[in-house]
Structure 1
Amino acid sequence: MSAADAGLPAARQAPCALPVVAVVGPTGSGKSELALELAERFDGEAVNADSMQFYRGMDIGTAKLPAAARRGIPHHLMDFLAVSEDTTVAEYQSMARAAVADIQSRGKLPILVGGSGLYVRAALDVLEFPGTDAQVRARLEAELDAGGLAPLAARLAVVDPVSAARIGDGKRVVRALEVHELTGRPFSSFMPRRQHVQPTLQIGLNGDRSELHLRLAARVHAMVDAGLQAEVEALIPQGLREGRTARKALGYQQFLRVIDGASTAAAAAEDTITATRQFARRQLTWFRADPRVQWLDWSGPGLVDAAAALVSHAQGGRGA
């Protein structure tokens, strides 16, 4: 999926007087609402970094803001994929940076919002994605099948000892050797760095864990009441079952089992709540590992003012 396919202009040089703001954190923490508040105060536009909100028709189960609730604020990189399609993180990186450059070129503030950690990093950080070659990959895989892992691992230890010490499964060893053969660089040199590509403020939302659990349970039940099962049923003819990514989305995989007669709606709701809590825990672990994130309490009465103060400071003291 290219930027043009998603209806975005090609990436171009743009003035960087305005920083990029990213609102991150676990699902259910209020990221979308805070992004709207900041967009209104600072003349901003939102860039979606929730990988499940890329999909057309996946609205209820992804808690996607309906157009009427977006307060007239443009939202980029939503609804550009069919449920049968996929995109890569590298493709998303290109589209997100094109969207950011376009927003900045019009004097607006780009606000990246979402909880898909790798997509956030791809948009914001120095992160390269080496290419691939089907013939090289097939040859290396044939070597793996014929001779086992040891010869390939030994070859990797010579050309890329850092990667050889980190990885031990055949698929990843093949990938590391493929990258070295194609680029002349060790695979380890492509590992991400915590270095922003341009001035960036990351605002993270966190708070009481038990409160989050209650929020997530209430949200899942609200999704069910709003017609999640019907949404899943409507997406099946559009290729939901065939989509490698969309069919695995929280809530969708659980209610596909209900439609197949393998579960009940009540059980699917409870399974979704459990899976969503586990996902939120993984999101928090991911974002808390990044020392650049500035954390705010999602339930604090002064949340919006505190976030706005951070943005104003990042802009060099300009107020809302």
Structure 2
Amino acid sequence: MTGGATRPIAVVGPTAGGKSELALDLAERLGGEIVNIDAMQQYRGMDIGTAKVPIDQRRGITHHQIDVLDVTEVATVARYQAAATADVERLLAAGRVPVIVGGSMMYIQGLLDGWSFPETDPDVRRRYEDELAAVGVAEMHRRLRAVDPAAAASILPTDGRRIVRALEVVELTGRPFAASAPQIGEPRWGTRIIALDRDTAELDDRIRERTRQMFADGLVDEVRELMRHGLVEGRTASRAIGYVQVLAALAGEYDLETAEELTFVGTRRYVRRQRSWFRRDHRIVWLDASAPDLADRALDTVHG
């Protein structure tokens, strides 16, 4: 465990809860740096749809694991785990406080609990990807539910990539997908974990407003530009909430108004999953994101 003021702080919780602002406040007060733990913020050019803090609003605070992948590259927990671990340990060695912020659930467990996934088998993976293309995501989710109901319950029925990965792990290991998950114990480096939440109606309003603002700020043009750089071919980037809906609209499947509504619905559904996931972690201290003295309360938690 890392002692004293140099232990990391993780700010997690549902999307649109206010994590980025609190993380900046904490990093500013503690002389720390930000370590991103949002999977899609790793992608260069995916700025509006991921609610990435603009560079001119980062208060001069260094951010790690942001803009480290091209949209054609596959984002994996294993890559992130190795890179972010190196960032955290380098900051600790320099006496800087790593402020880890984001809401990607498996990435958080990968970093703080050392979640190691089984190796992939290209032939098995390719077979399931071919089946996904042939029969569709709903049928693949049904097949996963038949062999691993717990995994099917935790994976969105529209998330073809994770469904394929779960089926691959089940086939390769002969065990449920979750069997590779770590036991929740002392987090690495003695990290203090804070989660932000809000009243459900308030959070839904924030999600709707943020979605509206993303489309107003040029999400569609951002997607068009990223298409020139291979977004459609990107196995993980193209499936990000907001981007997948805009891509479908640009392909003529529905209009942009529908894309905006489906982005809101998809984000709200994802938030429900995040809440359920994080509530199972007894180490987390929950704070009301609407509290006026939020940063002070967070610091009391860190130093308590």
TM-score (norm 1): 0.77
Change (3 A) 1:176 1:64: same
CA contact (8 A) 2:115 2:181 kept: yes
Change (3 A) 1:306 1:86: same
CA contact (8 A) 1:104 1:110 kept: yes
1:60 aligned partner: 48
Change (3 A) 1:188 1:62: closer
Q: Using the alignment, how far apart are the partners of 2:170 and 2:261 within structure 1?
A: 39
Select the structure of larger CA radius of gyration. 1
One-letter amino acid of the counterpart of residue 295, structure 1: W
Count of residues paired in the alignment:
269
Match 1:245 to one of 233, 236, 241 = 236
Q: Using the alignment, how far apart are the partners of 1:85 and 1:286 within structure 2?
A: 27
1:226 aligns with 2:217: yes
2:8 aligned partner: 20
One-letter amino acid of the counterpart of residue 95, structure 2: G
Give the 3-state SS of the residue equivalent to 1:198 in structure 2.
helix
Task: For residue 224 of structure 1, report the CA deviation from its aligned partner.
Answer: 0.7
- Give the percent of matched residue pairs that are identical in Structure 1 and Structure 2: 44
Match 2:226 to one of 220, 235, 251 = 235
* Root mean square deviation, CA, Å: 2.7
1:192 aligned partner: 182
Task: For residue 219 of structure 1, report the CA deviation from its aligned partner.
Answer: 0.4
Match 2:113 to one of 114, 125, 128 = 125
Q: Using the alignment, how far apart are the partners of 2:238 and 2:203 within structure 1?
A: 25
Give the 3-state SS of the residue equivalent to 1:100 in structure 2.
helix
Q: Using the alignment, how far apart are the partners of 1:224 and 1:202 within structure 2?
A: 32
1:205 aligned partner: 196
Change (3 A) 1:253 1:129: closer
CA contact (8 A) 2:75 2:236 kept: no
One-letter amino acid of the counterpart of residue 193, structure 1: Q
CA contact (8 A) 1:16 1:104 kept: no
1:288 aligns with 2:279: yes
Structure 2 alignment gaps of length 5 or more: 129-146, 153-165
1:266 aligned partner: 257
One-letter amino acid of the counterpart of residue 267, structure 2: T
CA contact (8 A) 2:27 2:97 kept: yes
Q: Using the alignment, how far apart are the partners of 1:126 and 1:251 within structure 2?
A: 30
Structure 1 alignment gaps of length 5 or more: 1-13, 142-162, 180-185, 314-320
Task: For residue 285 of structure 1, report the CA deviation from its aligned partner.
Answer: 0.7
Change (3 A) 1:256 1:194: same
Q: Using the alignment, how far apart are the partners of 2:222 and 2:3 within structure 1?
A: 41
Change (3 A) 1:85 1:126: closer
CA contact (8 A) 2:151 2:178 kept: no
Give the 3-state SS of the residue equivalent to 1:23 in structure 2.
strand
Q: Using the alignment, how far apart are the partners of 1:83 and 1:289 within structure 2?
A: 32
CA contact (8 A) 1:126 1:194 kept: no
CA contact (8 A) 2:151 2:177 kept: no
CA contact (8 A) 1:23 1:203 kept: yes
Match 2:76 to one of 88, 94, 103 = 88
Change (3 A) 1:115 1:164: closer
Task: For residue 197 of structure 1, report the CA deviation from its aligned partner.
Answer: 2.2
